[in-house]
A and B are shown apart, each in its own frame.
Chain A
Amino acid sequence: KNEVEQSPQNLTAQEGEFITINCSYSVGISALHWLQQHPGGGIVSLFMLSSGKKKHGRLIATINIQEKHSSLHITASHPRDSAVYICAATSRTGNQFYFGTGTSLTVIP
């Protein structure tokens, strides 16, 4: 069993839809990261959070420490949001990252 689990694995949405990607983790963490990987392969860090909620443009990330769960929301989705979204956790000891297997999002015009 992976330390970090994401759902869904694949997601197709119509442009303009509200999207939610979920991440659950089973280990103690000091921070949770949301990453975006475009078809070319490069990865960009979207959020790093240890509590509460963060917002950047149309993206919102939340974390519930008690439930060991985080969500990434995309409001008013756009085809350029099509990418793989990866959830990752920094271990509580700080010496390791755990990665989910990613959610592949396709937004159709």
Chain B
Amino acid sequence: DGGITQSPKYLFRKEGQNVTLSCEQNLNHDAMYWYRQDPGQGLRLIYYSQIVNDFQKGDIAEGYSVSREKKESFPLTVTSAQKNPTAFYLCASSIRLTGELFFGEGSRLTVL
């Protein structure tokens, strides 16, 4: 079945460490997104990509980095520069920027 796979589902990190969250889709979608979800807030855009080898910063890109070397894959690295990284991270894709959104199951990162 087509869909979006995020891993790991749960991740614990010590302060000062970088971590990478995986996002893979087999929907043949051009656009991919990373969102952060905090309690009581709407989803906030970290980065998005419309095409391979190109990506754009979202509203809260500081302390994060991404790559888009393959159409199917859009990994997110949470760097030690991110001041408050504990959150729920959601990857999404759409056939184009204005299309219906498909989400992964999310990754919950906790910094100890």
User: When the two chains form their complex, are residues B88 and A101 in contact, meaning their CB atoms are under 8 A apart?
Assistant: no
User: When the two chains form their complex, are residues B42 and A100 in contact, meaning their CB atoms are under 8 A apart?
Assistant: yes
Within 8 A of A (CB), among B58-112: 88, 90, 92, 97-106, 108
Q: Is A95 an interface residue (CB 8 A)?
A: yes
Q: Which residues of the partner chain B approach A4 to less than 8 Å between Cβ atoms?
A: 42
Number of A-B contacts (CB under 8 A): 53
Q: Which residue of A lies closest to B56 (CB)?
A: A95
What secondary structure prevails in chain B residues at the interface with A? loop
Q: Mark A45-85, 1 if CB is under 8 A from B, else 0.
A: 10010000000000000000000000000000000000000
Within 8 A of B (CB), among A33-49: 33, 35, 40-45, 48
Give which listed residue, A45, A86, A96, contacts B45 with CB less than 8 A.
A96
User: When the two chains form their complex, are residues A101 and B42 in contact, meaning their CB atoms are under 8 A apart?
Assistant: yes
Offer 16 A-B interface pairs, CB within 8 angstroms, sorted by A: A2-B42, A31-B98, A35-B101, A41-B90, A41-B108, A42-B105, A42-B106, A43-B90, A43-B103, A45-B101, A48-B100, A88-B101, A90-B98, A96-B45, A101-B41, A102-B42
